[in-house]
């Protein structure tokens, strides 16, 4: 009996020791190998992918391999709306997304989707880097998201398969895919086109099959998605600046210590900077590339009639969300 008890004790002690070791090992193992799943909708040659690479390089370097980043490009984790939902429940860790579906989650961000709000890249970047941008990032926290950094998609332009667009009248009656964003949809309705909201991963096929005649996106996206294969005409309307944002999942980020959290912040900042640099490069080289691929590009666009046509979208926005943010942006020194 004594022997049995003693054997049992030994066994229990051994198991206790083992589980402590296993736990320590597991904890170490978890730290050594934690994979961060980063999703975006664009191809692995896009400006978002350049940003994903910078995120990966920075986080893996700062954490000395404690975190590994797995990039999931081309909408392989779903469209932008689905990925934002994934962040909220913790099935995705980090997402680089346009502001397209963001207003559905964080209405405060709709202000950035107003047409012709920013005159140029310099102004848009300056506002997003100011306290206004920081306040908007902080708002993400009220909606179960972590706003890490303002990245960039670019000024959006119209493409279609029917005709060369020189004025809003030319666009009347076209079926144009828009993002799932009510401010954008209101603007296009004012222009007389039929806005058809759709998640980005479906757009290429919809254009190919003629479900829609056109779409609008920055040069960056038109290049990365090879839209020239399904669209003949591009008009540089620059009708709205399209910010991108690096968002994190609160499920992951709220469980991190301060140092780990700072690695994620630095990785997001490096990602945004690398993406902006790539946008700048493509703004210089993109049009020549698209012409080379056979697109008819209208560069000399009188923007005033477009601006006039979409102006009522401002009232649609302010009626619902007030004009406090808009006033702040207009009063900024940028
Ligand atoms: O974020 O949906 C869109 O048109 C976006 O510009 C694209 O997914 C990149």
Cα 257 to averaged position of ligand 1 atoms, centre (Å): 33
Cα distance between residue 298 and residue 301, in whole Å? 7
Cα 200 to averaged position of ligand 1 atoms, centre (Å): 6
Half-sphere exposure of 62 (CA within 13 A, CB side): 18
Reported as a single tens digit per residue, the pLDDT across 233-247 is: 999 999 999 999 999
pLDDT the model gives residue 33: 81
Work out which ligand 1 atom sits closest to the CA atom of 242.
6
Cα distance between residue 122 and residue 274, in whole Å? 16
Cα distance between residue 38 and residue 71, in whole Å? 5
Cα 325 to chain centroid distance, Å, stands at: 21
Reported as a single tens digit per residue, the pLDDT across 186-200 is: 999 999 999 999 999
Cα 14 to averaged position of ligand 1 atoms, centre (Å): 56
Consecutive H or E run containing 203: helix 203-208
Consecutive H or E run containing 51: helix 47-62
262 to each of 62, 244, 274, 298, how far by Cα in Å? 9, 21, 18, 45
Reported as a single tens digit per residue, the pLDDT across 97-142 is: 999 999 999 999 999 999 999 999 999 999 999 999 999 999 999 9
Query: 159 pairs with which residues across the strands?
Result: 215, 234
**Residues with beta carbon inside 6 Å of ligand 1?**
41-42, 80, 97-98, 100, 153, 179, 200, 217, 221, 242
Answer with the residue of higher pLDDT: 218 or 10: 218
What predicted TM-score, i.e. pTM, was given to this entire model?
A: 0.90
- Output the residue whose Cα is nearest ligand 1's atom 1: 98
Q: Choose which CATH entry (3.50.50.60, 3.30.420.40, 3.40.190.170, 3.40.920.10) describes domain 32-330.
A: 3.40.190.170
* Position 34 pLDDT exceeds 80: yes
* Position 19 pLDDT exceeds 60: no
Q: How confident is the model at residue 288 (pLDDT cuts 50, 70, 90)?
A: very high
Which residue do the tokens 């469980």 mark?
255
Tell me which DSSP letter residue 65 carries: T
pLDDT the model gives residue 65: 95
Cα 101 to averaged position of ligand 1 atoms, centre (Å): 9
Where in the chain are the domains?
A: 32-330
Q: How confident is the model at residue 25 (pLDDT cuts 50, 70, 90)?
A: very low
Mean pLDDT throughout 76-103?
A: 98
Cα 40 to averaged position of ligand 1 atoms, centre (Å): 9
312 to each of 155, 279, 330, how far by Cα in Å? 20, 29, 17
Reported as a single tens digit per residue, the pLDDT across 200-239 is: 999 999 999 999 999 999 999 999 999 999 999 999 999 9
| Pocket perturbation via mutation, ligand 1, pick of 100, 112, 226, 278 by most ligand atoms within 8 A of CB | 100
Mean pLDDT throughout 160-171?
A: 97
* Position 23 pLDDT exceeds 80: no
∠ Cα 71 72 78 (to 5°): 150
Reported as a single tens digit per residue, the pLDDT across 297-332 is: 999 999 999 999 999 999 999 999 999 999 999 999
Tokens of 326: 């808009």
CB 196 within 8 A of CB 178: yes
Cα distance between residue 319 and residue 183, in whole Å? 12
* Position 15 pLDDT exceeds 60: no
- Output the residue whose Cα is nearest ligand 1's atom 3: 200
Query: 326 pairs with which residues across the strands?
Result: none
Nearest to 244 by CA among 215, 278, 212: 278
Which residue do the tokens 């980063």 mark?
38
Work out the mean pLDDT of the chain and round it to a whole number. Answer: 92
pLDDT the model gives residue 32: 60
Count CB neighbours of 43 within 10 A.
16
């Amino acid at each position: 009996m004594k022997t049995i008890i003693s054997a049992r004790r030994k066994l229990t002690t051994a198991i206790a020791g083992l589980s402590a070791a296993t736990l320590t090992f597991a904890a170490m193992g978890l730290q050594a190998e934690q994979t961060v799943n980063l999703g975006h909708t664009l191809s692995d040659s896009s400006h978002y992918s350049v940003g994903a690479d910078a995120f990966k390089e920075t986080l893996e370097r700062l954490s000395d391999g404690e975190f590994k980043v797995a990039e999931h490009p081309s909408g392989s984790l779903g469209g932008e709306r689905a990925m934002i939902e994934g962040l909220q429940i913790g099935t995705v860790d980090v997402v680089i997304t346009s502001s397209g579906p963001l207003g559905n989650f964080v209405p405060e961000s709709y202000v950035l989707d107003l047409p012709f709000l920013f005159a140029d890249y310099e102004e848009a970047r300056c506002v997003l880097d100011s306290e206004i941008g920081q306040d908007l990032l902080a708002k993400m926290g009220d909606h179960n998201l972590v706003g890490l950094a303002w990245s960039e998609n670019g000024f959006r332009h119209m493409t279609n398969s029917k005709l060369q667009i020189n004025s809003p009248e030319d666009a009347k009656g076209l079926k144009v895919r828009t993002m799932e964003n009510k401010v954008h949809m209101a603007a296009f309705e004012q222009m007389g086109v039929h806005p058809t909201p759709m998640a980005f991963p479906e757009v290429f096929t919809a254009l190919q099959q003629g479900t829609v005649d056109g779409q609008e996106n920055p040069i960056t996206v038109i290049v990365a998605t090879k839209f020239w294969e399904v669209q003949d005409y591009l008009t540089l309307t620059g009708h709205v600046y399209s910010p991108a944002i690096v968002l994190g999942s609160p499920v992951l980020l709220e469980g991190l210590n301060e140092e780990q959290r700072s690695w994620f912040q630095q990785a997001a900042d490096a990602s945004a900077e690398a993406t902006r640099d790539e946008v700048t490069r493509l703004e210089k080289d993109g049009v020549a590339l698209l012409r080379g691929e056979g697109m008819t590009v209208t560069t000399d666009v009188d923007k005033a009639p477009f601006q006039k046509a979409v102006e009522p979208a401002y009232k649609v926005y302010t009626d619902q969300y007030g004009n406090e943010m808009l006033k702040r942006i207009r009063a900024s020194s940028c």
